[in-house]
Amino acid sequence: METPVVKIDNLVKRYNDKLAVDHFSLSIREGEILGLLGPNGSGKTTTINCLLSILKYDKGTIEIFGQKMAPDRTDLKQEIGVVMQNVAVVDALTVYENVDFFCGLYIRDKARRKDLVRQAIEMTGLTEYVKYRPSKLSGGLLRRLNIACGIAHKPKLIIFDEPTVAVDPQSRNAILDGIRKLNEEGATIIYTSHYMEEVEDLCSRIVIMDKGRNVASGTAAELKASLRNRETITVEMRDSTEQLIDGIRQINHVYDVKKSGEKLIIRCDGGSRNLIHILNYLMENKVDFGRVNSTLPTLNDVFLEITGKELKD
Ligand code: ADP
Ligand code: MG
C-alpha cells in the first residue's frame, strides 16, 4: 500500500486540565486536499502544531512521509510548508525580500531561489507590491504575503491554518485559486477552516472536528449522503391546521413537518419532485400560502446531526 503523507494515530494533547485534542486519528494520501473543518476551539491549530512537532503532546504517534516526526527532523520539515493562522513576516523587509528570506531558509542556490520567489509572488498576485513593506499592505495582501513566504520553496506537504479569516473576497479567491494550483503542481494540502462552503468547494476530503475529536470524514457528498435529510422545503403560511400538517406528512418522502412561526418546515428523505408534490397538495386543498423555498443539505446539517449544535459560518 502507498505510504500516507501524514499519519496521525490517537493523538492526545492537554493544556493543563483542558483536553484540546482527544484521541484524534487521521491519514492523508498524496495529492489530497484534506479539509479540517471545525468550529473555533475544536483543536485544529493544536493538531497542526503537534503534527509539526512545535508542541509536545501527551499520547499518540505522528508519521510524515512514512517516518516518525520529531522536533529534530529537519529533513522532514524541509518538505513541509506552513501558513500559520497568525501572519509571521518580517516588518523591516519588503514583500520581495520577505519571500526571498523565507525561501532562502531552504534553498541555497541563488538562481533557483530567484525563480521560486518570482513564482510564489506571481501565484499570490503580489507582483505589483514587491517593493512594499508589510505595514503598507491591506489585511488580505498581508495574508497573501504570509502564504508566499510559506510555499515558495515548493514543499511536498503544505498546511494552511485558516488562511481566509477576515480576508476580503478578492484575496480570498486569490488564496483559494493559489491553493488549487499548488495542489495541481503536486503538493498535498491540509486546509483548516470553520467555513463550510470553502471547505466543500476546495477539499477532496473533509474531516469534521469537534472537541478535539475526528467525528466524521469523507467527501462532502459522502458526508451529506449519511444524513436522512435530502431536501428541506419551507412554505410561508399564516394558518396551518393540524389536519393540513398531517396531510403533508402523508406525502411520499416527507418525514418531518414542523411549524416555525408563520412557516412550515418540511423535511424530505429522498425523491426528486418533492416540491411539485407538496405544491400540488397545497393547491388541491386550496391552501393559502406565500413564498416557498427548497434547500439541499449542507455540511452544517451534517455537523448538527452529529454534534447537536450549529457549525456557525
Ligand atoms: P482551533 O484552532 O480549532 O480554533 P485550538 O487548537 O486553538 O482550536 O484550541 C483548542 C482548545 O485548546 C480550545 O479550547 C483552546 O481554548 C485551548 N487552547 C489552545 N491553545 C491553548 C494554550 N496555549 N493554553 C491553554 N489552552 C489552549
Ligand atoms: Mg485555530
The ligand minimizing its distance to the Cα of 84 is 2
Calculate mean pLDDT across residues 19-45.
Answer: 97
- Is the model's pLDDT at 313 over the cut of 60? no
Q: Is residue 62 in some structural domain?
A: yes
- Give residue 208 CA to ligand 2 midpoint distance, Å: 14
For residue 237, the enclosing domain spans 231-296
Q: Is residue 32 in some structural domain?
A: yes
- pLDDT digit string (tens) for 33-50? 999 999 999 999 999 999
Query: Residues enclosing ligand 1, CB less than 6 A?
Result: 15, 18, 20, 38, 40-46
Q: Is residue 304 in some structural domain?
A: no
Q: In the listed set 117, 151, 185, which residue is the last one of a domain according to the structure?
A: 151
- Is the model's pLDDT at 64 over the cut of 90? yes
Cell of 267: 423535511
Q: Is residue 305 in some structural domain?
A: no
Closest atom of ligand 1 relative to the 161 alpha carbon:
2
- Is the model's pLDDT at 272 over the cut of 90? no
- Give residue 223 CA to ligand 2 midpoint distance, Å: 23
The ligand minimizing its distance to the Cα of 16 is 1
Q: Is residue 311 in some structural domain?
A: no
- pLDDT digit string (tens) for 83-106? 998 899 999 999 999 999 999 999
Lowest mean pLDDT among 97-101, 150-154, 202-206, 306-310: 306-310
- Is the model's pLDDT at 204 over the cut of 80? yes
- Domain count for the chain: 3
- Give residue 52 CA to ligand 2 midpoint distance, Å: 14
Q: Please name the residue whose Cα sits nearest to atom 16 of ligand 1.
A: 41
Are residues 165 and 221 both part of a single domain? yes
- pLDDT digit string (tens) for 126-177? 999 999 999 999 999 999 999 999 999 999 999 999 999 888 898 899 899 9
